Amino acid sequence: MHAADEGWRLAGAFVLHWGTAHAIVNALALIALAGLVAWKESWGAVARVASLAFAAQALVLLAWNPEAYRGASGFVYALAAYAAVRAGAIGLACAGAGYLTAQALGMSSTLLPEGISPAWPVHAAGAASGALAAVLQDLPSKIRIFFLCEPSR
């Protein structure tokens, strides 16, 4: 069975991790980035990024259908991309894109068990959704209301 047949597996994939180190690194990154976005903007912005990231990652997981996926790093990429784009840190965003490319080319991670590679399609979906959320935030107010965005500060 895969996520399309059992929807709880889709949501569960983002909560389960490959081990304690994997869970701790994801949790610390999420706490730091969510705190940064909330401090600079609002918890509503964090919720919007997370919602868009969940939708994008879920679509990728359904299409890609990996036999094994665990972790919340797609949300980390989403928050990092959102923060980088909102701050105008294009160099940082490009560095992140380079890192995703390295993953796509087979770079491994010491946080994952042997034989498990980083899920770069899910990471890319997270980063793209975070960047999209940042761009949507800057749309004119009448369009922005459609996306339930708060006014820019």
- pLDDT tens column, 103-146: 555 555 555 556 566 677 888 888 889 988 888 877 765 555 54
User: Which amino acid is located at 61 in the chain?
Assistant: L
Is the residue at 45 inside a domain? yes
Residue 140 structural domain: 7-146
Is the residue at 62 inside a domain? yes
Compute CA 42 distance to the chain's CA centroid, rounded to the nearest angstrom.
Answer: 18
Is the residue at 108 inside a domain? yes
pLDDT of residue 100 exceeding 50: yes
Q: pLDDT for 19-71, tens place per residue?
A: 677 777 778 888 888 998 999 888 988 999 988 988 888 888 777 765 666 67
Q: Which has the closest alpha carbon to 134: 71, 80, 67, 70?
A: 80
Q: What is the pTM of this model?
A: 0.73
Tell me how far apart the alpha carbons of residues 57 and 42 are, in angstroms, rounded to a whole number.
23
Assess contact for 4 and 12: CB atoms under 8 A: no
Task: Report the number of distinct structural domains present in the chain.
Answer: 1
Please, what sign has the CA dihedral across residues 27, 30, 32, 34?
negative
